[in-house]
Every structure is written in C-alpha cells, then in structure tokens.
Structure 1
Amino acid sequence: MSDLAALRHVGLHVAETAAPVLGFTLLYATTSRLPAALAAGLCVAALVAVHRLRQARSVWPAVGGFALTAGAAAVTVLSGDATNFFLPVLLLRATVVAATPIMLLLRWPPVGLAAGVLAGKGLVWRRCPPRLRAYSVANLIWVVAEGALVANQARLYLADRALAMGAFKLLVEVPVHVLLAVLMWVVYRRMTNRPCPCEGVHS
C-alpha cells in the first residue's frame, strides 16, 4: 500500500468510526428517545462492519468496531445515561494518549507501527533513523491535538452533555482528524525526502 493509499485508508477509517455516532446523535437529538438512538447507532455500526467485510479488509476492524459500539450501548442501557454511549471510546482514546509519550521515549511511535501495518512494511522503518525521527515528530503532533480533543470530550462528559459530545465529534473531531492525517503525512514526507539505504526504496 502506498503512502497516499494509506492516507485514504485513514480518512475512510475516520468516517466509518464516526458513522455510528452520527446515527445515535441524530436520533437522540430529534426524538430524545434513548432506545431508538441506541438502535440507530447499533444498526449503523452493523452496516459499517458489513461494508468493511465486503471490501475484503481485515475482519478485526469490522468486529472490533461493532463490539465497541455494542459495549457502549450496553453501558448506556445499564446506566440509563446517554453520555455513557461515548465513554468506552473516550477511555480508549485517553489510554492511547497517556501511553503515547512513553512509546515515543522508547522509540516506538504508535503512528509508525500503524503505518507499517497499513503499508505492509512491518518494522522496516525502525532501521532507518530519518524514518524513525519523522514518525516520532508526526506522532508528537498527533498526541498534542488528540490530547486537546480528549480533554474537551471529558469536560463535556463530566457536564453530562451527550448531544454536545456527539456534535463535537462530528463537527470538530472528524475534520481535525482528517487534517491531522494530512499534516502528519506532509511532515513525514518532508523529513524523509531521500531514499533510506536500509529500505532499498522510498516508502
């Protein structure tokens, strides 16, 4: 997979991840009925999972995405609180944000790991100092922006503002994540504008 193809893949992943939130938020905003909103979110998550499987992509994103939405729905039903629909993903993202600085100090930038999987090149980039440095810088950009987004969602969660959480994710987080992907790709390409001898070809 080329760098541009990987970038498109990230954009598609962002859209697919946001789709269940869109279904949930729209139904809850228009009906104020939590069961209907949860059903909408689960239906959209199921459609996304089927789409991922039909596109011959890995089964794990399809199963994992639906399982995460189903878990969120279960937590929401048990608590009766609409904000808890966003809690599992919020906790997952907060964990990743908290772990990323440690990974960067260990010279294992998560962005590099993800890119290696998407591009089908594994850990080859770790043998090339310019690639490792570029992924670390790109990951630093990501963790700062993602940390700010997660902090705002946590603030809205603590204020019990479910609709605001959904609107923020759809209207702010989705565009920011797409822009972040583009910015990180540009930074990576500028920092690795020469072939790395250990890779043989420019990736």
Structure 2
Amino acid sequence: MTVPEKPEPAVQPGAAQSGAVQSGAVQPASTQPAARPGPDQEPAAAQPTVAQLAEGYAAKAGLHRSGNGNIDVLKSAGGIQGIAESILPGLVFLVAFTITRELPLALTAALAVAAAFTVVRLVQRKPLTQALAGIAGVGVSAWLANTTGKAEDFYVPGFFTNFAYIVAMSISIAVRWPFAGLIFGFIRNEGLDWRKDPARVKAYQIGTWVIIGVLSLRLLVQVPLYFMGEPGFAALATTRLLMGAPLYILGIWVAWLLTRPAPAAAPATPTA
C-alpha cells in the first residue's frame, strides 16, 4: 500500500517578497539601481589623433578648394569682403592721418571701419572669426599708437605677428611637419599620407619656405621704414597695404604650384 505524496503548499501572494529566505525559494530581482562607476572608473575621453588635429587646423586656416580640385586663392583669402576687411582699416588710417595729421581722429576712423565690418557680418549671419580678429588687431594697434603718440607705431603689432609666424613655420620644417603640408595635404585629399613619402615632405618644406619668404620680405622692407620715423610713415603705410593680402595671395599660389604632386604614370599597354 502506497502512501500518497503530500502536496506542496501553494505559494501565497507576496511570499516571494518575504524578508525570510527559504530553501529552494526563488529570490526576487533587486529593485535597486545598478551602482554607477566612480570617477576613476569612467572611460577616458578619446584624444584627437595628429591627423584629426591637422585636419582641423587646415579647416581653420580658411583654405578652400575650387571645383577642379585646385586651391581657390581668392576664397581662401576671405573673398572680396575678407580682403576689404584686411585692407580698408589701414587705408582709412593712412588717408585720415595724412589729411588731418590728427592721430586720435585717424585711429578712431580705422576702428570705426573695423567695427562696421563686424556689424555687416552680424547682419549677414556670417562667421565673425575674421572680423573679430581684424577689429582686435586694429584695436591693439590703435592703443599702441595712441599710447606712444607715434603714428608709425600703428604697424608695430604686425611686425611681431609676422615674426611669430616665421618662427612657427621654421620649426614645422625642422620637425618635418611643414606648414604647407598641413594646409595643402587635406585640400589634395592626401591627408597625412604625404609624410610617408620623402619627396612630398621635401616639396612641402619648399612650399613652406616660400611662405616664410613672403613674411620675411615684409619685415625686410617695412622695419627700416618704421625706424625712419614720421618721414617714412607714408611709405610704411603704403607698403603695408601692398604687401598685405595681395602678397599673401601670391605667396600661397606659388607654394601651391611648387608642391603639386607628380602626375601618375600611365599604365603601360601590353604588346602583342
């Protein structure tokens, strides 16, 4: 005679949530949120690579490519408006001081022109980088000239800016990261692959020397005129205008031509 098995007691509602832990009972899933990693356990933010930094610099340099794959020199210089922004404040300063011989009035006129370009960009909803840089440069120049009372000191900050670029570009050549390669490489879709080819590195070093030559020529011509004092002011101001955007455009174009990669050789046709 078999003894019938005793049936299991039914699980009462809420028993699974009971504080007592019973053998064989299914434990409920924890309702507390998972612990978040501490500051030391947070994944480190990805650092930009050298290629990404170089590409970003090339974009910020303001260089543009035309439809045929060449550099658009005019657009890279900021277009007609950008060239006007770089030339007109200095031109207005030269004309106003030459006519009135009143330094504060000439400085105010130059600042007003720079500020007007900033307002125009605001109305056009264009990036303000170039306009703000221009008005900042004019502001520093005006402050220095007004402090010393010498009109020729309006051009002194430009000397230091040119010299800083010369030093930076010379260092880029020495460490085999020539400036021309960084700004032209991405326009040509070379990325940083040009650094693997010694011939391309050398070409971009030559292109960088061309740009350095343009900047050095400015100093060689303008610094002696500055030390002539007021008698050399008109010549200094005029050469500053002529050797500004126009000479920069010419230098960039020559550097672009000198750094062109050699055309790919045509595949040989098999002979019968």
- Regarding TM over 0.5, the answer is yes
Residue matched to 1:8: 74
Aligned pair partner of 1:22 in 91, 113, 129: 91
| Equivalent of residue 151 in structure 2, options 67, 72, 82 | 82
SS at 1:100 equivalent: helix
CA-based RMSD: 2.9
- Describe the shift of the 1:122–1:188 C-alpha distance in structure 2 as closer, same or farther (beyond 3 A): closer
Distance of 1:120 and 1:24 partners within structure 2: 39
Name the CA shift for 1:126/1:46 in 2 (closer, same or farther; >3 Å). farther
1:24–1:37: 8 Å Cα contact kept in structure 2? yes
Instruction: List gaps (5 residues or longer) in structure 1.
Output: 195-203
Structure 2: 5+ residue stretches without partners: 1-63, 265-272
Correspondence 1:56 to 2:56: no
**1:5 Cα deviation after fit:** 5.6
| 1:14-163 paired onto structure 2 within 5 Å | 14-53=83-122, 54=124, 56-57=126-127, 59-115=128-184, 119=187, 124=192, 127=195, 129=197, 131-160=200-229, 161-163=232-234
> What's the offset of the Cα at 1:81?
0.6
Task: Tell me the secondary structure at the aligned position of residue 2 of structure 1.
Answer: coil
Q: How many residues align?
A: 192
| Cα offset, 1:22, TM superposition | 1.0
CA distance in 1, matches of 2:112, 2:137: 13
Verify the 8 A CA contact 1:20 1:42 in the aligned structure 2.
yes
2:118–2:131: 8 Å Cα contact kept in structure 1?
A: yes
Does the Cα contact within 8 Å between 2:114 and 2:138 map onto a contact in 1?
A: yes
Residue type of the alignment partner of 2:126: A
Q: Work out whether residues 153 and 165 of structure 1, in 8 Å CA contact, stay in contact via their aligned partners in 2.
A: yes
- SS of the aligned residue for 1:22 comes to helix
Distance in 2, Cα, partners of 1:42 & 1:120? 38
2:233 aligned with 1:170: no
Structure with bigger gyration radius: 2
Whole-angstrom CA distance in 1 between matches of 2:146 and 2:247:
30
Question: How far off its partner does 1:173 sit?
Answer: 4.3
The answer to whether the Cα contact below 8 Å between 1:157 and 1:165 also exists between their aligned partners in 2 is yes
Tell me if structure 2 keeps the 8 A contact 1:42–1:66.
Answer: yes
What TM-score, normalized by structure 1, do the two folds share? 0.78
Q: Is the 8 A contact 2:180 2:255 kept in 1?
A: no
Kindly provide the amino acid, as one letter, of the partner of residue 136 in structure 2. A
1:3-49 CA-to-partner distances (Å, cap 9, x unmatched) read: 54641223334543222111111111222111121112112222333
State the AA in 1 paired with 2:208: N
Cα separation, 2, equivalents of 1:48 and 1:123? 34
Deviation at 1:128, TM superposition (A): 5.5
TM-score, normalized by length of structure 2?
Answer: 0.60
CA–CA distance in 2 between the matches of 1:15 and 1:112?
28
Identity %: 25
Q: Distance in 2 between matches of 1:66 and 1:156?
A: 25
Task: Give the SS at the match of 1:108.
Answer: coil
Aligned-pair distance for 1:70? 0.4
Which of 1 and 2 has higher RCO (CA within 8 Å, sep 6+)?
A: 1
